[in-house]
Structure 1
Amino acid sequence: MNQQDIILSLPEHLRPFVKTQKYSDYTAIDQAVWRFVMKHLSNQLSETAHPVYLDGLARTGISLNQIPSIEEMNECLAKLGWRAVVVDGFIPPAIFMEFQALKILVIALEMRSVNHIFYTPAPDIVHESAGHAPFIIDIDYAEFLQSFGEVGMKAIATRADLEQYEAIRKLSILKECPGSTDEAIAKAETNLKSLTNDSNPPSEAALLTRLHWWTVEYGLVGKVEDYRIFGAGLLSSLSESAQCLDDSAVKKIPLTVDAVRQSYDITQEQPQLYVTQSCKHLSQVLEEFAESMCFRKGGAASLRTAINAGSMCTASYDSGMQVSGVFTEVLCDAVDNAIYLRTEGPTQVAYIEREIIGHGVNYHSQGFGSPIGHIKDFNRCLSQYSIDELKGHDIAMGQRVRLDYLSGITVEGLLEKIHRHDHRNLILTFTDCTVTTLHGRILFDPAWGVYDLAVGSNINSVYGGVADRETLQLYKPTSVTDTIQTAEDDVLLRHYAFVNELRKLAKPVEDQAILKQLEIALESYPQEWLLRVEMLTVAAPPLRNQLKRELTSLGQSNSSLQHLTALALDSK
């Protein structure tokens, strides 16, 4: 299946987040960076990564010698029941989780720059493909990853979470772009710091992000005293994949659900890491956290969580009715049963994740309010009664109807319409309607217009986002901080491309004309260490000896290159 076919197979609301990989856009320098990173990562990780790592690279279409083609990856992933798409940098966390729930790996399109070869502040194709894909071949891990997506897309996020996402995306792009000014980066860092210093308790989404960080991104597997690496953040970092093994510098902690209490700083190396016993153990910890979430618990407490979040959330009735909006109020009885809910602003009313025709945000633009609970003298939820049964209780269209809830809430008005679906009463539409509480508070006045009552006896789930994601797109398809493209040195690119063509010959270069071209490249770019590393693969003495001397000299004169040149020289 090619890229376009996969995009067309996606739910429509996810398609705008997906880009198309134009393989020819990767330069010879990009390919050289990939080769260097993957060669040394695979060497470092051969004994320290989870045993399936190297096999997983091959079985998911990831070569050590060239940047993976998304279409070749998909040919391999299809055999495992997964797919992959490419995106531009960070995408909204809820969207990322939804892709994962659909068994789709999200692969960042960009390749890290040579200046960030050890660690990139922005998502890149090394991290997303070589970090995340290999362990898909482990069935237990693949099931954990999919379950994480299913749970993650239900998490309630706050407005602050969404602002933090935008701030992280902007900062990562600025840091990866060579043309960014120190002033711009400092300003973005200050903005992110101000958002992360929020004194409010972390949201469900924030806690789940921590669990994702300490498992999927920075997880270890085994025992505290005998572990292997499986986290994608470690697997894609030349520096941290080595440094994390220092038990005196990085504390190792057995993984429990308590990991969600530990925050993290994406700009710093991690002072502690968590060790899971197995991939099945990962799923157990995830399930333990999921049991605490509002989408599992429902009820008044969950509605209050949604109110405090101030973001778009969904409340699901036991009848299948769903109200999606910014919740502002929940009324409760003496034993904390939710008896009335209210939203403000655009609201969607749906049934089992499909917006009810005529009940979208345009119609409910000012908000929505409806009672919750049983009606007096009704032994079942009102949704379960047939039209004839309703008539037996004096509930018929075209007549004045009075509904007395056990909570004391009263709805009285002219019943204009009963919206039914799947043999259920879902919405009762009234005109000239008054809704009051037991104590006389007016919840709806006839002068306010038409009153739509959502039918249901309790709220069994509350979760982040909207019920019908196809009809109401909650997240912006593209950010205002699109990945910044920088100009390349065309002459330097030609030198890299020339050396790459020589590599394909798979034999040392001895032709004097070719050697002269290589000498010209070296003289023109005396600081270009990676070009020299690439030449080592094709050079014969005495050029090989010259390259080694120059790499040694570059490492001695530039401390930031010392580790890189040492790696290159040790492997030759």
Structure 2
Amino acid sequence: MDSYPNLRGDYSQMATDYTIAQDWARYTEEEHARWRMLYARQAKLLKRFAAQEFIDGTATLDAGDGIPDLEIASARLSRATGWRLVAVPGLIPETDFFAHLARRQFPVTNWIRKADEIDYLVEPDIFHDFFGHVPLLFNPVFADYMQLYGEKGAEAEKLGTSKILVRLYWYMVEFGLIRTDGGLKAYGAGMLSSAAETRFSIEDKSPNRLRFDLKRVMRTSYKIDDFQETYFVLDSFDELFEATRRDFAPLYELTQRQPEITPDRIVAGDRVITLGDGSWKQRRDQAA
């Protein structure tokens, strides 16, 4: 949270684990309308760009009519995979975030972006957290992976390696791709809650798309305020779960001895699916 000194949420009423009451009744009709607009825009993209597991979870949630009540959604999710949703005021410390995941609780921000932030905002809001993350928690393998990741978080904090572990969340939970019979599909919350990056991640010639490799992901830095320059591609969620079950301590030691890889680089040993041409930077700079 130190990177975000002016957080928007109201942290004054939170419990010691950063949870708060969602207070669903306080949402205005304008806010519900904003949710419906965001939901409809992203839902149109799912068939073409999203993994089937994400599409299935979205259909189960059926949350297109307005900002969802987290208690109702939690009941449905708990019956499916044992997860529940907890409201939080916004970004929370890594220690608490890891602990929630380890208990099969997913923190969901309780406020929605403003009208002038439809296409981009720095902090995650309820649309990002709910629409982007919750559908895949209905998938048993991915649900188990998220709990395992939370357990790995507590270990990483003891070892002082949280910065390395967070890269796995960034590239494989926020911005992951998966290979299917229908081609590459998006499943990451970061792109599937963003109309522009949903298309960019699959269709644009600019980014690299590399086969998933745990050590490579752990060595790769990332940017939080731009489209990704590299995406990592799974063959299945089982692949991600099995890779995460291993002992991370030796990987942390190895990663700390090796130089960091910047997001735009290709290095020896990469299994390249799509070699990006880096044209996004040129288009961005020309538009500036």
- Counting only pairs closer than 5 Å after superposition, residues 244-255 of structure 1 correspond to structure 2 as 244-255=201-212
Aligned pairs for 1:62-211 (under 5 A) are 62-80=62-80, 81-156=82-157, 203-211=160-168
Q: Distance in 2 between matches of 1:268 and 1:76?
A: 34
How far is 1:78 from its partner?
1.8
Q: How much does 1:119 deviate?
A: 2.4
Amino acid at match of 2:73: M
Matches within 5 A, 1:71-470: 71-80=71-80, 81-156=82-157, 203-222=160-179, 226-257=183-214, 258-288=216-246, 290-292=248-250
Give the Cα separation in 1 of the matches to 2:15 and 2:83: 16
Query: Offset at 1:148?
Result: 0.6
SS of the residue aligned with 1:84? Answer: strand
Query: Matches of 1:282 and 1:23 in 2, distance apart?
Result: 35
TM-score by length of 1: 0.40
- Higher alpha-carbon Rg: 1
Paired with 2:239 and 2:144, the residues of 1 have a C-alpha distance of: 12
Assess if the C-alpha contact under 8 Å between 1:204 and 1:293 holds in 2. no
CA RMSD after TM alignment: 2.4
Deviation string 1:157-178 (CA, Å, 9 cap, x unpaired) is 79xxxxxxxxxxxxxxxxxxxx
Bigger proportion of residues as helix: 2
Aligned equivalents of 1:21, 1:138: Cα separation in 2 = 25
Q: Partners of 1:273 and 1:47 in 2: how far apart?
A: 18
Cα distance in 1 for residues equivalent to 2:251 and 2:157? 9
CA distance in 1, matches of 2:152, 2:110: 26
- What is the TM-score with the length of structure 2 in the denominator? 0.77
Amino acid at match of 1:32: A
Q: Give the Cα–Cα distance (whole angstroms) in 1 for the partners of residues 15 and 142 of structure 2.
A: 24
Please tell me the residue identity of whatever aligns with 1:282: L
Displacement of 1:225 in angstroms is 9.6
Distance in 2, Cα, partners of 1:210 & 1:157: 17
CA change 1:260–1:78 in 2 (3 A) is: same
Q: CA deviation at 1:126?
A: 0.8
Decide whether aligned partners of structure 1 residues 224 and 262 sit closer, same or farther in structure 2, where only a CA change above 3 A counts.
Answer: farther
Q: Quick one: distance in 2 between partners of 1:157 and 1:118?
A: 37
CA apart distance, 1:156: 2.7
8 Å Cα contact 1:87/1:107 also seen in 2: yes
What SS does the aligned partner of 1:156 have? helix
| One-letter amino acid of the counterpart of residue 119, structure 1 | Y
**CA shift digits 1:194-217 (9 cap, x unpaired):** xxxxxxxxx510010011100011
Residue 95 of structure 2 contacts residue 157 of structure 2 at CA under 8 Å; is this kept in 1?
A: no
Change (3 A) 1:157 1:114: farther
Letter in 2 for 1:209: V
User: How many residue pairs were aligned?
Assistant: 239
Q: Report the equivalent of 1:26.
A: 27
Mind listing any 5+ residue stretches in structure 1 that lack a counterpart? 1-12, 159-202, 295-300, 306-572
- 1:13-62 CA distance string (max 9 Å, x none): 97441010111221222112111111010111122111122321232x34
When you count strand as a share of all residues, which structure comes out higher? 1
Conservation of the 8 A alpha-carbon contact between 2:57 and 2:137: yes
- Name the SS of the counterpart of 1:133 in structure 2: helix
What's 1:318 paired with? none
Sequence identity (%)? 27
CA contact (8 A) 2:99 2:154 kept: yes
> Residue 186 of structure 2 contacts residue 201 of structure 2 at CA under 8 Å; is this kept in 1?
no
Q: Distance in 1 between matches of 2:226 and 2:246?
A: 29
Query: 1:265 Cα shift?
Result: 1.1
